[in-house]
Amino acid sequence: MATVHVVGAGLAGLSAAVTLSANGGKVVLHEAAKQAGGRCRSYYDPTLGLTIDNGNHLLLSGNADALGFLKEIGAPADALTGPEEAAFDFADLKSGQRWTLRPNAGRLPWWVLSPSRRVPGTRARDYLAPLGILRAASGKSEGAGGTIGETMECTGPLYERLWHPVLLAALNTEPRDSDVGLAARILRETLGAGGRACRPMVADQGLSYAFVDPALKTLQARGVTMRFGRRLRSLENEGGRVTSLLFADGPEILAPGDSVVLALPPWVTSELLPGVPAPREFRSIVNAHFAMVPKPGSPLILGVVNSLTEWLFAYSDRYSVTISGADRLLDVPREDLARQIWDEIATLGNLAPELPRWQIVKEKRATFAATPAEAARRAPARTAHANLTLAGDWTATGLPSTIEGAIRSGKTAAHALMCAGSPARGAA
């Protein structure tokens, strides 16, 4: 039976391996690290004395591929938690004002007519602003529609209190510089699809508990071979096909019907396949963790404006903060960040100013920059090699760098092999 080699065990690679192994195909998963999960994983942090995630991840109920993946791998029922209905709590640190945004469940957004459901100080007609994004993106290829700043007024109370925090979180790039096509796709699949599609969800018990451990268990049960600590250094090809994979610990020679899914970060893929386009600019994310059981009644997710803190998560054993597009903070001493962020949390939650045990995690290349230039550099799943496809959140999914995009890309890469008439079809 032909073998499919999946290289990279982040969510894109796991998704490709799950898709390819569904009908008993022979799959081998290779990963450079000692563990799976890539940018979406949990680990024990000795300073905090807690298991934390490499970054707080927010999903929405409209993330159909992510939820489908959880179902397929038999993830536990409590893998993701969140409010029963779409509700986003917000606080303005400067004014002390608090509000809850409550989109109604259906597609027709009547909630904007109800002052108690919308952002204070805004009018119903302000909510039409993103239509400019949808119009500008319509019918355009990735990166060709221009920036959000060119299509929408990026000032005013609604922008400051809703569109800026939401778009920054989704795109991890300053919204006014971000690609309209990426923003339009998110709006269509989540907010624009009504409250039913934008219930916020987090992995309270960890990303590995939700996504990675059940995926590995499924792959193991399906007989997939998993090889960790295997770094791919180069590929050899002949006659339009990949013929061998050269790993640091030795070569893997492909039999004539074998095929490959590369599910690697863009900078690694570019080195291995110099002709393939890939984003070259990235944006960082800073996370701050504080080991303290949150006060009862703390919102699970709180959007904060007029502050360094952007999103405050109240997990069962800690407070965690996410700051997106955070390149400006990379050189700020960790102690200063912890102090400033904790002061903000203490003000918001009326807590003592003494710092609990804390950890600052700076992910420098958390996502590709969601600008039109980078969006235009995304590669399709298919390559010039008949038996090689690409996956990864940076490939041309139409979505920004997200769990949803990574999982979708893995499925696309697997289906592209299966449909190509490649002998790897046997894996389908």
Using CB under 6 A as the binding rule, whether residue 424 contacts ligand FAD is answered as no
* Residue with Cβ nearer ligand FAD (126 or 142): 142
* Residue with Cβ nearer ligand FAD (212 or 351): 212
Look at strands 50-53 and 42-45 and give their pairing: antiparallel
Using CB under 6 A as the binding rule, whether residue 369 contacts ligand FAD is answered as no
Query: Among residue numbers 275 through 304, which ones bind ligand FAD (CB under 6 A)?
Result: 285, 287
What is the nearest approach in angstroms of ligand FAD to the Cβ of residue 208?
12
What is the nearest approach in angstroms of ligand FAD to the Cβ of residue 52?
11
Using CB under 6 A as the binding rule, whether residue 337 contacts ligand FAD is answered as no
What is the nearest approach in angstroms of ligand FAD to the Cβ of residue 315?
14
Using CB under 6 A as the binding rule, whether residue 260 contacts ligand FAD is answered as no
What is the nearest approach in angstroms of ligand FAD to the Cβ of residue 167?
13
Both structure tokens of 5: 């080699």
* Residue with Cβ nearer ligand FAD (59 or 427): 59
Using CB under 6 A as the binding rule, whether residue 362 contacts ligand FAD is answered as no
Using CB under 6 A as the binding rule, whether residue 305 contacts ligand FAD is answered as no
Phi and psi angles of residue 155, each rounded to the nearest 5 degrees, phi first: -145, 170
Closest CA to 229 of 208, 259, 249, 252: 249
N-terminal to C-terminal alpha carbon distance within the chain: 12
Q: Write the secondary structure of 175-191 as one string of H (helix), E (strand) and C (coil).
A: HHHCEHHHHHHHHHHCH
Q: Which residues contact 249 (CB under 8 A, 6 or more apart)?
A: 229, 230
Look at strands 282-290 and 301-305 and give their pairing: unpaired
* Residue with Cβ nearer ligand FAD (371 or 401): 401
Q: Which range of residues in 76-84, 86-94, 120-128, 259-267 is near ligand FAD by CB under 6 A?
A: 259-267
Look-up: residue for tokens 């069962």? 316
What is the C-alpha to C-alpha distance for residues 390 and 413, in angstroms, rounded to an integer? 6
What is the C-alpha to C-alpha distance for residues 131 and 398, in angstroms, rounded to an integer? 18
Phi and psi angles of residue 244, each rounded to the nearest 5 degrees, phi first: -155, 155
Site string for ligand FAD, 136-175 (x = CB under 6 A): ----------------------------------------
Q: Which range of residues in 56-64, 132-140, 215-223, 294-302 is near ligand FAD by CB under 6 A?
A: 56-64
* Residue with Cβ nearer ligand FAD (57 or 378): 57
Helical packing angle, 11-21 and 403-419, nearest 10°: 40
CA atoms within 13 A on the CB side of 56: 30
What is the nearest approach in angstroms of ligand FAD to the Cβ of residue 265?
5
What is the nearest approach in angstroms of ligand FAD to the Cβ of residue 202?
8
Site string for ligand FAD, 21-40 (x = CB under 6 A): ---------xxxx----xxx
What is the C-alpha to C-alpha distance for residues 259 and 384, in angstroms, rounded to an integer? 13
Instruction: Identify the residue among 2, 254, 263, 292 touching ligand FAD (CB under 6 A).
Output: 263
Q: How far is CA 132 from CA 124, 129, 145, 206, in A?
A: 16, 6, 11, 37
Using CB under 6 A as the binding rule, whether residue 261 contacts ligand FAD is answered as no
Secondary structure (3-state) at 246? strand
Give the number of other Cβ atoms within 10 Å of residue 350's Cβ.
7
What is the C-alpha to C-alpha distance for residues 88 and 99, in angstroms, rounded to an integer? 8
Q: Which range of residues in 67-75, 94-102, 253-261, 263-271 is near ligand FAD by CB under 6 A?
A: 263-271
Using CB under 6 A as the binding rule, whether residue 414 contacts ligand FAD is answered as no
Query: Among residue numbers 72 through 131, which ones bind ligand FAD (CB under 6 A)?
Result: none
Secondary structure (3-state) at 272? helix
Instruction: Identify the residue among 7, 182, 323, 427 touching ligand FAD (CB under 6 A).
Output: 7
Say if CB 301 and CB 202 are below 8 A apart.
Answer: yes
* Residue with Cβ nearer ligand FAD (59 or 345): 59
Using CB under 6 A as the binding rule, whether residue 329 contacts ligand FAD is answered as no
Instruction: Identify the residue among 5, 57, 117, 385 touching ligand FAD (CB under 6 A).
Output: 57
Look at strands 26-31 and 3-7 and give their pairing: parallel
What is the C-alpha to C-alpha distance for residues 352 and 347, in angstroms, rounded to an integer? 9
Query: Among residue numbers 187 through 246, which ones bind ligand FAD (CB under 6 A)?
Result: 231-232
Query: Among residue numbers 379 through 408, which ones bind ligand FAD (CB under 6 A)?
Result: 392-393, 401-404, 406
CA atoms within 13 A on the CB side of 73: 29
Closest CA to 259 of 17, 23, 32, 6: 6
Query: Which residues contact ligand FAD (rule: CB under 6 A)?
Result: 7-13, 30-33, 38-40, 54-55, 57-59, 231-232, 263-265, 268, 285, 287, 363, 366-367, 392-393, 401-404, 406
